[in-house]
């Protein structure tokens, strides 16, 4: 099993519990979509799995090893993370920024090799953004930065990819392309966890779905069973129907 989360709990200093005794697992080729309202703790949960926050209790296992006992480099060879927002500090070119994904494999005081650049270039090509290669990362749009961040994680070649609302800043076409890219990465054996506010993205991915409610309780199940009209209506406080579309060959969500 690539990732096992056992009884994980987290709260900030002197604050109420954000999530409590969370349990789930993700293995090769699986996609887990996490849904929840604003402020429910989806991003915080990803930050714990990404080794950015330390949980107050529970365990995170990567390939059966406790993440707390692994070095940063060891974790980075297993887990790749695409944050929701990234503010650049330096005006690297997009190509230079992408090749930084190879850092877990480059020894200290060494520069990226030609092979590292080839992997980075392939990741940019895969995202369809090679035309941005020589542009400054600080001068491209927020949506383009999101696509470059995904390319950098692909260049990192982890086993598990975490994506915090990866479609949030993208236009409709690029949202669909990113969801299809996630499907493709899963078919190649990557384990993926994505937070999203769009239940239809989780329906398209057709993997596992986790719903984090405001009480900090996480429920996990298969998309077809979990994303019911009743569950979605309760989650978002709306009257939502799921209707099967013959052309799309899947359910679509409709607010009544």
**Percentage of the residues of the chain whose pLDDT score is greater than 70:** 100
Q: 35: part of which helix (H) or strand (E)?
A: strand 31-35
The residue that leads in pLDDT, 107 or 131, is: 131
Which CATH number among 3.40.50.300, 3.20.20.70, 3.40.50.150, 3.40.50.410 corresponds to the domain 3-227? 3.40.50.300
DSSP classification of residue 186: H
Task: Report the alpha-carbon distance of residue 198 to residue 19 in Å, rounded.
Answer: 21
Name the pLDDT band for 35 (thresholds 50, 70, 90). very high
Q: Which token pair is 224? A: 């077809």
What pLDDT, on a 0 to 100 scale, did the predictor assign at position 113?
A: 96
Q: Which has more confidence, 109 or 67?
A: 67
Q: How far apart are CA 135 and CA 157, in angstroms?
A: 24
CB within 8 Å of 95: residues ≥ 6 apart: 117, 120, 121, 124, 133, 134
Distances in whole angstroms, Cα of residue 118 to Cα of each of 80, 114, 124, 157: 19, 6, 10, 13
Measured from the Cβ of residue 238, the count of other Cβ atoms closer than 10 Å reads: 11
Task: Work out whether strand 65-66 and strand 79-82 pair parallel, antiparallel, or are unpaired.
Answer: unpaired
pLDDT band at 168 (very low <50, low <70, confident <90, very high): confident
Across 86-107, average pLDDT: 92
Tell me the pLDDT of the chain averaged across its residues.
93
The answer to whether 256 and 241 have CB atoms below 8 angstroms apart is: yes
Tokens 């009743």 sit at which residue? 230
pLDDT in tens, 67-77: 999 999 999 99
pTM of the model: 0.94
Whole-number pLDDT of residue 253:
92
Lowest mean pLDDT segment, chosen from 112-116, 141-145, 195-199: 141-145
Residue 15 confidence (pLDDT): 87
Q: What is the residue extent of each domain of the chain?
A: 3-227
- Phi, psi of 30, deg, nearest 5: -100, 145
For the residues 189-194, what does the mean pLDDT come to? 97
Q: List the beta bridge partners of residue 252.
A: 243
Query: SS in 3 state form for 14-63?
Result: CCCCCEEEEEEEECCCCEEEEECCCCCCHHHHHHHHCCCCCCCEEEEEEC
């Amino acid at each position: 099993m690539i990732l096992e989360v056992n009884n994980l709990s987290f709260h900030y200093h002197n604050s109420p519990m954000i999530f409590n005794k969370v349990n789930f697992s993700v293995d090769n080729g699986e996609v887990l979509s996490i849904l929840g309202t604003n402020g429910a703790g989806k991003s915080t949960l990803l930050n714990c799995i990404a080794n950015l926050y330390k949980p107050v209790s529970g365990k995170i296992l990567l390939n059966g090893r406790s993440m707390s006992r692994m070095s940063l480099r060891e974790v980075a060879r297993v887990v790749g993370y695409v944050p929701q927002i990234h503010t650049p500090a330096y005006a690297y070119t997009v190509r230079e920024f992408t090749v930084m994904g190879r850092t877990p494999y480059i020894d200290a005081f060494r520069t990226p090799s030609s092979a590292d650049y080839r992997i980075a270039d392939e990741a940019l090509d895969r995202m369809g953004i090679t035309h941005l290669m020589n542009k400054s990362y600080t001068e491209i749009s927020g949506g383009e930065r999101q696509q470059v961040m995904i390319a950098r994680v692909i260049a990192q070649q982890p086993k598990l990819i975490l994506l915090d609302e990866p479609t949030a800043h993208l236009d409709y076409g690029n949202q669909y392309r990113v969801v299809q890219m996630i499907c493709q990465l899963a078919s190649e054996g990557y384990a993926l966890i994505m937070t999203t506010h769009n239940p239809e993205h989780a329906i398209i991915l057709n993997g596992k779905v986790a719903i984090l409610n405001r009480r900090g309780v996480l429920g996990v199940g298969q998309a077809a069973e979990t994303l019911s009209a009743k569950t979605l209506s309760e989650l978002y406080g709306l009257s939502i129907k799921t209707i099967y579309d013959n052309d799309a060959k899947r359910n679509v969500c409709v607010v009544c």
